[in-house]
Amino acid sequence: MATLKPEQKSLGEDGCWKTVRLAQRAVARVTCLGGQGPITGVPFMDDYISCEEEIFDHVTEVSGIGSIRNLPEAFHQMNR
């Protein structure tokens, strides 16, 4: 997940914060896991999504943007 534009808030006359515009977000990464047999739960695809718009925040704690180098051996066997 990546945030393209942050949420916008303004302070109302009553002293309460009001959301003027919701955050605009986009998918940043897709990971597919095996669903049956010996590869159940094993990632067989892990890729980033290209985005032409400027990214405001990568929201790393949600997106987990990082390396797939430490995947189980089963992943590498599927790609041979």
Domain extent for 72: 2-78
Q: What is the pLDDT of residues 19-73, one digit of tens each?
A: 999 999 988 888 899 998 998 998 888 888 888 888 888 777 655 554 444 555 5
Q: Is the pLDDT of residue 75 over 60?
A: no
Q: How many domains does the chain have?
A: 1
C-alpha 45/C-alpha 19 separation (Å) is 37
C-alpha 47/C-alpha 20 separation (Å) is 33
C-alpha 34/C-alpha 26 separation (Å) is 24
Determine the pLDDT at residue 63: 57
Which tokens hold the place of 43?
Answer: 């990632």
43-57 burial, b at 16+ Cβ within 10 Å, e below that, comes to beebeeeeeeeeeee
Higher pLDDT among residues 7 and 55, named by residue: 7
